[in-house]
Amino acid sequence: MPVDSEHSALAQCLRGGTPDEVAKLVLTASGGPFRGWSAADLEHVTPEQAGAHPTWSMGPMNTLNSASLVNKGLEVIETHLLFGIPYDRIDVVVHPQSIIHSMVTFIDGSTIAQASPPDMKLPISLALGWPRRVSGAAAACDFHTASSWEFEPLDTDVFPAVELARQAGVAGGCMTAVYNAANEEAAAAFLAGRIGFPAIVGIIADVLHAADQWAVEPATVDDVLDAQRWARERAQRAVSGMASVAIASTAKPGAAGRHASTLERS
């Protein structure tokens, strides 16, 4: 039984039908702290801004992954592995309130959703007690209070991390491990102030595009570890290259003022 809130929700919703009745799975995403921002706006994001999630309280890396939508990309991969649904039948929709944790649409057109206030006590209690529920594990939705739930499409042009994860999953082999390892290196570099926020996903994309040799099924765990090691080294070189370019730019005569903000972000 999964503990992640989205996958716990899917497991609950899937009890409403048989496997052959499932049309698609729908993961919800809060959109993170930069929902509605443009690509230009993201150029100036600081680690402090990326660490402020609108609905969940998490550690720095998880919060950053949520801000970049990499976390949702990893959840798409997780959904495929847990439930065996093809990637083209796993959707992501932005739901800022984080009340609906995931949904399942069935072949007859009906959709079942799992709703509860954002609180990890519920999926944890369900995992421990499955298939029975734990009485009073978490607060329920209060339908006596006026509220609204919003849903909107994910802007994949500004936040391409989910589509990159989908592409890695479809490619197969060790590509999802490459995706994860490249992100860990790029995210750490951003938190250390070495690269800008958009560069995180840019580095993931560059590493994936150069990783064709890893799109084969691993024969052993060592193959997966080798893929991760290769991805980390490739990402580290990309980070070093970006930092060197930024430093060189600020060293040009008269360039200090123009490029100060670039150096700070790198």
Choose among 34, 141, 29: nearest CA to 95: 29
Structure tokens given for 179? 């995706």
Closest among 171, 173, 198, 177 to 187, alpha carbons compared: 198
Flag the least confident range among 12-16, 49-53, 63-67, 214-218: 49-53
| Residue with token string 């600020």 | 250
pLDDT of residue 187: 98
Pull the structure tokens for residue 25.
């799975």
Whether the per-residue pLDDT at 68 is higher than 70: the answer is: yes
pLDDT at 75: 99
Domain formed by 172-266, architecture: Orthogonal Bundle (1.10)
Angle between helices 221-251 and 197-209 (to 10 degrees): 130
pLDDT, residue 253, reads 52
Say what the pLDDT of residue 59 is. 81
Q: What is the pLDDT of residues 77-107, one digit of tens each?
A: 999 999 999 999 999 999 999 999 999 999 9
Which pLDDT does position 261 carry in this prediction? Answer: 37
Give residue 54's pLDDT.
Answer: 73
**What are the DSSP calls for the chain, one per residue?**
---SHHHHHHHHHGGGS-GGGEEEEEEEE---TTTT--HHHHTT--HHHHT--SS----HHHHHHHHHTHHHHHHHHHHHHHH---GGGEEEEE-TT--EEEEEEETTS-EEEEE--S-THHHHHHHHHTTSPPTTSSPPP-TTS------EE--TTT-THHHHHHHHHHH-TTHHHHHHHHHHHHHHHHHTTSS-HHHHHHHHHHHHHT-GGG-S--SSHHHHHHHHHHHHHHHHHHHHHHHHHHHHHHHSTT-HHHHHHHHHH-
For 13-42, write each residue's pLDDT tens digit. Answer: 999 999 999 999 999 999 999 999 999 999
- Number of alpha carbons in the 13 Å side-chain half-sphere of residue 48: 0
| Cβ-based neighbours of 65, under 8 Å, separated by 6 or more | 71, 74, 183, 187
pLDDT bucket at 60, cuts 50 / 70 / 90: confident
CA–CA separation, 53 vs 30, rounded Å? 9
| pLDDT of 259 above 50 | no
Asked whether the predicted pLDDT for residue 260 surpasses 80, the reply is: no
At residue 246, does pLDDT exceed 80? no
Which of these ranges, 64-73, 169-178, 250-259, has the smallest mean pLDDT?
Answer: 250-259
Residue-level pLDDT at 18: 98
Q: Of 16-30, 48-62, 181-195, 203-217, where does mean pLDDT reach its minimum?
A: 48-62
Show the tokens assigned to 233: 């080294």
Residue 265 has pLDDT above 50, yes or no: no
Residue 248 has pLDDT above 80, yes or no: no
Q: Which residues does 241 contact at the CB level (< 8 Å), separation at least 6?
A: none
pLDDT tens, position by position, 171-195: 999 999 999 999 999 999 999 999 9
| Whether 6 contacts 102, CB under 8 Å | yes
> How confident is residue 251, by pLDDT bands cut at 50, 70 and 90?
low
Model-wide pTM > 0.75:
yes
Where are the chain's structural domains?
Answer: 1-170, 172-266
